[in-house]
Structure 1
Amino acid sequence: MKMWAMSNLATCGHGGSLSLCFPENLKFSSALRTNSRVSLPFLSDACRGSWLARGRSRRMDKDHIVRMALVDERLARTKDVAKPPEILAYDLVQGALVRWSSVADRSLPDPPTAVFLHGILGSRKNWGTFAQRLAQEFPTWQFLLVDLRCHGDSASMTKRGPHTVASTALDVLKLVRQLRITPRVLVGHSFGGKVVLSMVEQAAKPLARPVRVWVLDATPGKVRPGGDGEDHPAELISFLSKLPKEVSSKRHIINALLQEGFSKDVAQWVVTNLRPTTTSSSSSLSFSWVFDLKGISEMYQSYEETNLWKVVEDVPRGVHVNFLKAERSLHRWALEDLQRIYAAEELAAEEGGGVEMHVLEDAGHWVHADNPDGLFRILSSSFQGVKT
């Protein structure tokens, strides 16, 4: 597969962008005809994050064409593709009925799109399984999963500070503009929840009307981390900053976090940010962190300081903001927060917008991992009855 792809790259004329078109009679193994993303081992690290990967139904025809396109036109035109990309790393998981690419066929209207954003120290992979499930249930939709600045594969980007909620939101707005996508649903977990609110605040376009916004286990204003004996994100970031950039074992890091007093769930989640590396001087396996911890520290500070209540209490017409509180939330929801949300709910209904409060039972802060079935049921309302 790798050799074939390398020797059969075809350039298609679409505004200077590069696209790969596999012949119609090419048959893929069952591993490539699933809902999982397609692996592209022959791409440079700078390009890999910019490739579209279609979600696929298990019932798909064996000879279905797989089409992929490099959407960063500026990067496609340059000879030096090895330099850090200027576009956020992302995956585009598409339902089986989606026949669209922002580059390969601009004549088609973009299908309904939902954007999913992770929290501090997370990555787009947090949403991978959940998005594939949504793509199966709602085959006319596509789901954009993004690595935010300083996180995951976007950590190699040359992004200037300040690293804030607002600058992070602007990054995502630029990405959807580059992809020529108008999102109808925005979903943000924790830090990502404030980012989607900031997206609404900063841009009338490229957001659709109506647009449904989901803020998962985060409030618009003051951040209230867990109390004594519970995990505190700022303390976690501080502890990680003291660890070496390269480690020999994930288990070693988990044990160090447990010994420091962090929970097992947090310890296991943190090591998902480790990637295997082999040093030139040794054949032994080691692991390195994929995030920019200094930038993330700034982002978390901004998360604590950013106040977006004005977006909620003066919701633009056509915008519906949904808050979801985890029953066993890591963050404390004050009575004041709930009262302001309920008051905003009544006001928004009068002004043509919408605010709504939800509670996800049997879930802690990591809602998509603790109770994915319950979260799926709640979010599904946003994908039903939308004209395509």
Structure 2
Amino acid sequence: MPFLSNLTASFLGERSAFNSPPAQLKLQLLAPISSTPSIRIAPPFQKVAFGVSRTGIGRSSICGRKRSVCMTLINERLGRDRDVADPSSILAYELVQGKHVNWSSVVVLNRSIPEPPTAVLLHGILGSRKNWGTFVRRLAQEFPTWQFVLVDLRCHGDSASIRKRGPHTVASTASDVLKLIAQLRITPRVLIGHSFGGKVVLSMVEQAAKPLPRPVRVWVLDATPGKVRAGGDGEDHPGKLISFLKKLPKEVSSKRDIVNALIQEGFSKDVAQWVVTNLRPTATAGSSSSNFSWAFDLEGISEMYQSYEETNLWKVVEDLPRGVHVNFLKAERSLHRWALEDLQRIHAAEETAADEGGGVEMHVLEDAGHWVHADNPDGLFRILSFSFKGVKV
């Protein structure tokens, strides 16, 4: 049975400690699904704060006299009265746990509480972890022995206030997520990335697949490892959207005005309404009116999207480490994003990976465009579900 990955220890600088027999944890096998599943989202635990900055998320807690907002998402019941070193600010995240999960990173060295199987979900360009919120809570209800980590990537959502050094690339974004899961002391069994996030999870495999426990299932949702083909068939082009957003003021008085401006520019109403979810109120105390400002770092996002277009990760798919299984999901209506050569290359990789002990598989999500988890959540749920029905050992 696989043991705790060296990945966590390597990022924390504690490789020798985690490699010792007492520190090696056996991964928890899936328990039978309860007839009345529910969700438990780990509440804030004041003594161990994840500092996000003044504009971060969470609530004020015991963080000394520093003017900052603190956030942590760990299990308060398990973590109470335990001393834990304050983690560094890496990325904003949310931990959603099924009702049968009885674990937190605070007690990772307690052998009586094995680590539950964990999935990490990543959003696309101009998105945030909230894009996955409803879908993940459904997964947690159906698979109550699993836990799910939703991440705001660098320059996005609540991570935008956590300053990151450039370059802002697919690789550096993947490195952020690897550092976060190391900080949380988890060894994910499933990695799911949509669009830009799809290349990020492939980059995670490239950077740290060998230390990861086996098996690892990777889901790349409506993205290819190489050339990016966007903006066809009447869909909006992310590059053009980013360029237009750069022309808008950093602070606005009305979300409706931004929606109208985007539609007038030729972007779809759905995309316009989705974009303004990135606006946050900027009202001061005692003021009856409020303006809005963008939550993301648009300059950083522009650099990330350029990297997305330039990054080629076919070599990862065509030379997978043993035990890693990559699943590509093509949206049925997302025709322009997938060239015939992409499909042929993936099918060729399927045969090669099978011979080498890995796995590559292609799926098609019917009745869906690029926004797969919004267009056909039921179909996506059915396709992804088999990854959570058991853990091979």
Q: TM-score range with shorter-chain normalisation?
A: 0.7 to 0.9
After superposition, the C-alpha distances for 1:133-186 in whole angstroms (9 at most, x for unaligned) are 111111110000000000001001121000000000000000111111000000
Query: 1:311 Cα deviation (Å)?
Result: 0.5
* Structure 1 SS opposite 2:305: helix
Corresponding residue number in structure 2 for 1:88: 91
Q: Are 2:188 and 1:183 equivalent residues in the alignment?
A: yes
Query: 1:315 Cα deviation (Å)?
Result: 1.1
Q: Distance in 2 between matches of 1:370 and 1:46?
A: 38
Q: Distance in 1 between matches of 2:347 and 2:324?
A: 16
Query: 1:307 Cα deviation (Å)?
Result: 0.1
1:197-346 correspondence to structure 2 within 5 Å: 197-204=202-209, 207-227=212-232, 229-279=234-284, 282-329=287-334, 332-346=337-351
Q: Distance in 2 between matches of 1:175 and 1:205?
A: 18
Would you say the 8 A contact 2:123–2:196 is kept in 1? yes
Q: Distance in 2 between matches of 1:325 and 1:216?
A: 7
Corresponding residue number in structure 2 for 1:102: 105
Query: 1:207 Cα deviation (Å)?
Result: 2.4
Q: Distance in 2 between matches of 1:49 and 1:303?
A: 30
Q: Distance in 2 between matches of 1:93 and 1:111?
A: 12
Correspondence for 1:363 among 368, 371, 375: 368
Q: Distance in 2 between matches of 1:375 and 1:181?
A: 25
Query: 1:41 Cα deviation (Å)?
Result: 3.6
* Structure 2 SS opposite 1:385: coil
Corresponding residue number in structure 1 for 2:72: 50
1:150-165 correspondence to structure 2 within 5 Å: 150-165=155-170
User: For residues 72 and 252 of structure 1, do their structure 2 counterparts lie closer, same or farther at Cα, with a shift above 3 Å needed?
Assistant: farther
After superposition, the C-alpha distances for 1:73-108 in whole angstroms (9 at most, x for unaligned) are 345xxxxxxxxx622100010010000010145313
Query: 1:124 Cα deviation (Å)?
Result: 0.6
* Structure 2 SS opposite 1:116: strand
Corresponding residue number in structure 2 for 1:73: 85
Corresponding residue number in structure 2 for 1:129: 134
User: For residues 70 and 137 of structure 1, do their structure 2 counterparts lie closer, same or farther at Cα, with a shift above 3 Å needed?
Assistant: farther
User: For residues 253 and 331 of structure 1, do their structure 2 counterparts lie closer, same or farther at Cα, with a shift above 3 Å needed?
Assistant: farther
* Structure 2 SS opposite 1:103: helix
Q: Are 2:161 and 1:149 equivalent residues in the alignment?
A: no
Q: Distance in 2 between matches of 1:364 and 1:276?
A: 31
Corresponding residue number in structure 1 for 2:174: 169
Query: What residue identity is the alignment partner of 2:161?
Result: S
- Length-normalised TM-score, structure 1: 0.81
After superposition, the C-alpha distances for 1:365-386 in whole angstroms (9 at most, x for unaligned) are 1111111100000000100122
User: For residues 288 and 67 of structure 1, do their structure 2 counterparts lie closer, same or farther at Cα, with a shift above 3 Å needed?
Assistant: farther
Query: 1:259 Cα deviation (Å)?
Result: 0.3
Q: Distance in 2 between matches of 1:234 and 1:149?
A: 18
Q: Distance in 1 between matches of 2:360 and 2:186?
A: 24
* Structure 2 SS opposite 1:188: strand
- Length-normalised TM-score, structure 2: 0.80
Would you say the 8 A contact 1:115–1:187 is kept in 2? yes
Q: Distance in 2 between matches of 1:137 and 1:317?
A: 29
Q: Distance in 2 between matches of 1:211 and 1:270?
A: 33
Q: Distance in 2 between matches of 1:268 and 1:35?
A: 30
User: For residues 217 and 356 of structure 1, do their structure 2 counterparts lie closer, same or farther at Cα, with a shift above 3 Å needed?
Assistant: same
After superposition, the C-alpha distances for 1:106-147 in whole angstroms (9 at most, x for unaligned) are 313211000000000000111111111111111110000000
Q: How many residues align?
A: 337
The alignment-based identity, stated in percent, is 77
* Structure 1 SS opposite 2:106: coil
User: For residues 138 and 178 of structure 1, do their structure 2 counterparts lie closer, same or farther at Cα, with a shift above 3 Å needed?
Assistant: same
User: For residues 42 and 92 of structure 1, do their structure 2 counterparts lie closer, same or farther at Cα, with a shift above 3 Å needed?
Assistant: same
5+ unaligned residues in a row in structure 1: which ranges?
1-32, 55-64, 76-84
Q: Are 2:131 and 1:116 equivalent residues in the alignment?
A: no
Query: 1:208 Cα deviation (Å)?
Result: 2.0
